Amino acid sequence: MAQKIKLSTIAESLGLSTATISLALRDSPLVASDTREKIKEQARALGYIYNRRAASLRTSRSGIIGVVVHDIMNPFYGEILKAIETELDRNRQTFILSNHYDSVEKQRNFIETLLQLGGDGVIMSPAIGTPIEDVRLAETNGMPLILVARSMEGTALPTYRGDDSYGISLATNHLIGLGHKSIAMIGGTDQTSTGRDRYQGYVNALRKAGIEVDPNLRIPGPRSMQGGFEAAVNFLSLPQKPTAAVCWNDLVAIGLMNGIARAGLVVGQDISVTGYDDLEQASIALPALTTVSNQQAEVGRLAARALLDRLAGSHEPDGIHLIKPEMRIRQSTGPHRPR
Partner DNA sequence: TTAAATTATTAAAACAATTTAATTCCGTTT
Partner DNA sequence: AAACGGAATTAAATTGTTTTAATAATTTAA
Interface residues with its own copies (CB under 8 A)?
A: 1-2, 47, 49-54, 56-57, 62, 64, 72-73, 75, 78, 81-82, 85, 94, 96-97, 99, 112-113, 115-118, 140-142, 224-226, 229, 255, 258, 261-262, 280-281, 284-286
Q: Which does 30 bind (CB under 5 to 8 A by kind): its own copies, DNA, none?
A: DNA
Among 2, 13, 51, 237, binds DNA (CB under 7 A): 51
Q: Please say whether the beta carbons of 238 and 216 come within 8 A.
A: yes
Question: Which one of DNA, its own copies, none is in contact with 140 (Cβ closer than 5 to 8 A by kind)?
Answer: its own copies
Residue nearer to its own copies on the CB measure, 1 or 312: 1
Among the listed residues 50, 226, 309, 337, the single contact to DNA using CB under 7 A: 50
The one among 6, 82, 218, 336 contacting DNA by CB under 7 A: 6
Would you state the torsion angle of the CA atoms of residues 137, 142, 144, 145, taken in this order, to the nearest 10 degrees? -10
- Nearest Cα neighbor of 126 from 143, 145, 113 is 145
Residue 200 in the binding site for DNA (CB under 7 A): no
End-to-end CA distance of the chain: 74
The site string for DNA over 26-45 (x = CB under 7 A, - otherwise) reads x---xxxx-x----------
Segment interacting with DNA (CB under 7 A) among 6-14, 197-205, 250-258, 283-291:
6-14
- The length of the chain is 339
Looking at beta carbons only, is 33 or 234 nearer to DNA? 33
- Least Å distance, CB 165 to its own copies, is 27
Contact partner at residue 2 from DNA, its own copies, none, CB < 5 to 8 Å by partner kind: its own copies
Residue ranges of alpha helices (H) inside the chain are 7-14, 18-25, 33-46, 52-59, 75-90, 104-116, 132-140, 164-177, 193-208, 225-236, 250-262, 280-284, 296-311
Contact code string over 52-71 relative to DNA, x by CB under 7 A: --xx-xxxx-----------
Task: Give the separation between CA 108 and CA 161, rounded to whole angstroms.
Answer: 22
* Contact call for residues 253 and 332 (beta carbons, < 8 A): yes
**Residue 94 touching DNA (CB under 7 A):** no
Conformation bin of residue 74: beta by default, left when phi > 0, alpha when psi is -120 to 50: beta
Which residues touch 142 (CB under 8 Å, ≥6 apart)?
A: none
> What does the alpha-carbon distance between residue 150 and residue 188 come to, in Å, rounded to a whole number?
13
| Contact assessment for residue 280 and residue 339, using Cβ atoms and an 8 Å cutoff | no
Residue type, 253: A
In the bound complex, what is the minimum distance in angstroms from residue 98's beta carbon to its own copies? 8
C-beta of 162: minimal distance to its own copies in Å?
A: 19
The answer to the question of residue 141 lying near DNA (CB under 7 A) is no
> In the beta sheet, which residues pair with residue 244?
183, 272
Among its own copies, DNA, none, the one that 171 touches (CB under a kind-dependent 5 to 8 A) is none
Judged by beta carbon distances under 5 to 8 A according to partner kind, the member of its own copies, DNA, none in contact with residue 315 is: none
Tell whether residue 15 is a contact of DNA (CB under 7 A).
yes
In the three-class reduction of DSSP (H, G, I as helix; E, B as strand; rest coil), residue 244 is classed as strand
* β 244-247/94-99 pair status: unpaired
Query: Which residue in 118, 150, 122 sits closest to 136, CA to CA?
Result: 122
Contact partner, 16, from its own copies, DNA, none, Cβ < 5-8 Å per class = DNA
The residues of the shown chain that bind DNA, judged by CB under 7 A, are 4, 6-8, 15-20, 22-23, 25-26, 30-33, 35, 48-51, 54-55, 57-60
